[in-house]
Amino acid sequence: MAAFAVAGGVAGRHVALVDDVMTSGATLAAAAQALKAAGAARVTNLVALRTARD
């Protein structure tokens, strides 16, 4: 089962994903993959904060 479903028309569009805190990037990657599979021409991730790496 997919973690994300795209409800609106994104085909051919540039989509910006906004996240407040990024830890591993897995959530953004899964959302971007769903958008690209739905036809988004480009996906840009915008992150306010990133957790420290070990």
Q: What is the pLDDT of residues 36-45, one digit of tens each?
A: 999 999 999 9
CA pair distance 34, 4, nearest whole angstrom? 6
Confidence (pTM): 0.85
Instruction: Supply the mean pLDDT for the chain.
Output: 92
pLDDT at 1: 58
- Low-confidence stretches of the chain (pLDDT < 70) are 1
**Greatest Cα-to-Cα distance within the chain, rounded to the nearest angstrom:** 39
Query: Hunting for tokens 């996240």 — which residue is that?
Result: 19
Q: Write down the pLDDT at residue 11.
A: 96
Task: Write the CA distances from 51 to 28, 36, 37, 38, integer angstroms.
Answer: 14, 26, 28, 29
Q: Which of 36, 34, 32 is nearest to 47 (CA)?
A: 32
